[in-house]
Structure 1
Amino acid sequence: MTPLRERNQAAVGGVALVLIALVAVVTYAWNDLPLLDKGIGYSAEFAESAGLAAGNEVRVAGVTVGEVTSVELDRKKVLVEFEVERVGVPDATIASIEIKTLLGEKFLALHPAGEQPQDPAASIPLERTRTPFELQDAFEKLSDTVQEVNTDQLAQSFNVLSDALKDTPPHLREALDGLSSLSKTVSSRDTELANLLSNTSQVSKTLSDRNAQLSRIIGDGNLLLTELQNRQDAITRLLDGTKQLSDQLSGLVADNRGQLKPALEKLGTVTDVLHRNQENLSRSLELLAPFTRIGANATGNGRWFEGYICGLLPPVITVAGAQINPEGCSPPIAAPNQGVAPR
Structure 2
Amino acid sequence: MHTALAGLTVLVLGIVVALNARSLPVIGDGTGYAAEFSEAAGLRAGDDVRIAGVKVGRVAGIALDGASVRVSFRVSGAWLGADSTASIRLKTVLGQKYLALDPVGSEQLDPDVPIPRARTTALYDVLPAFQRLSTTIDRLDTARLSRSFQAITQAFAHTPASVRTALDGLSRLSDSVASRDAQLTHLLAGTRAASATLAGRDAEVHRLLLDGNRLLTEVQRRESAISALLEGSRRLATELSGLVSDNDRSLAPVLAQLSTLLQRDQDSLAEGIRGLAPLIRLATNLTGNGHWVDGYLCGLLPPAIGPVNEPGCFPR
Give the TM-score range, shorter chain: 0.5 to 0.7
Residue in structure 2 matched with residue 142 of structure 1 by the alignment: 133
Amino acid at match of 2:215: L
Residue in structure 1 matched with residue 58 of structure 2 by the alignment: 68
Amino acid at match of 1:185: S
Instruction: Find the residue that maps to 1:50 and give its secondary structure.
Output: coil
* Alpha carbons of structure 1 residues 172 and 260: separation in structure 2 relative to 1, 3 Å: farther
Q: Aligned runs of 1:212-227 on 2, under 5 Å?
A: 212-227=203-218
* Alpha carbons of structure 1 residues 39 and 239: separation in structure 2 relative to 1, 3 Å: same
* Alpha carbons of structure 1 residues 230 and 56: separation in structure 2 relative to 1, 3 Å: same
Residue 70 of structure 1 contacts residue 81 of structure 1 at CA under 8 Å; is this kept in 2? Answer: yes
1:80 paired residue among 47, 51, 72: 72
Residue in structure 2 matched with residue 237 of structure 1 by the alignment: 228
* Alpha carbons of structure 1 residues 71 and 268: separation in structure 2 relative to 1, 3 Å: farther
* Alpha carbons of structure 1 residues 67 and 53: separation in structure 2 relative to 1, 3 Å: farther
Q: Percent identity?
A: 40
Q: Displacement, 1:126?
A: 5.5
Q: Displacement, 1:87?
A: 0.8
C-alpha distance in structure 2 between counterparts of 1:232 and 1:119, whole Å: 48
TM-score of the pair, normalised by structure 1: 0.57
For structure 1, the residue ranges without an aligned partner over 5 or more in a row are 1-30, 278-343
* Alpha carbons of structure 1 residues 269 and 54: separation in structure 2 relative to 1, 3 Å: farther
Q: Aligned runs of 1:1-343 on 2, under 5 Å?
A: 35=26, 39-46=30-37, 48-60=39-51, 62-64=52-54, 66-73=56-63, 77=69, 79-90=71-82, 92-112=83-103, 117-124=108-115, 129-165=120-156, 176-264=167-255, 266=258
Instruction: Find the residue that maps to 2:61 and give its secondary structure.
Output: strand
C-alpha distance in structure 1 between counterparts of 2:260 and 2:141, whole Å: 101
For structure 2, the residue ranges without an aligned partner over 5 or more in a row are 1-21, 271-316
C-alpha distance in structure 2 between counterparts of 1:114 and 1:249, whole Å: 61
Deviations 1:234-265 (A, max 9, x none): 22222222222222222211211133235545
Deviations 1:189-217 (A, max 9, x none): 32432232232133223323433322332
Q: Which deviates the most, 261-270 or 128-137?
A: 261-270
Aligned length, in residue pairs: 243
Q: Displacement, 1:136?
A: 0.8
Instruction: Find the residue that maps to 1:252 and give its secondary structure.
Output: helix
Instruction: Find the residue that maps to 1:196 and give its secondary structure.
Output: helix
Amino acid at match of 1:151: T
TM-score of the pair, normalised by structure 2: 0.61
C-alpha distance in structure 2 between counterparts of 1:169 and 1:215, whole Å: 59
C-alpha distance in structure 2 between counterparts of 1:172 and 1:69, whole Å: 53
* Alpha carbons of structure 1 residues 94 and 229: separation in structure 2 relative to 1, 3 Å: closer
* Alpha carbons of structure 1 residues 75 and 179: separation in structure 2 relative to 1, 3 Å: closer
C-alpha distance in structure 1 between counterparts of 2:40 and 2:171, whole Å: 42
RMSD of aligned residue pairs (Cα, Å): 3.9
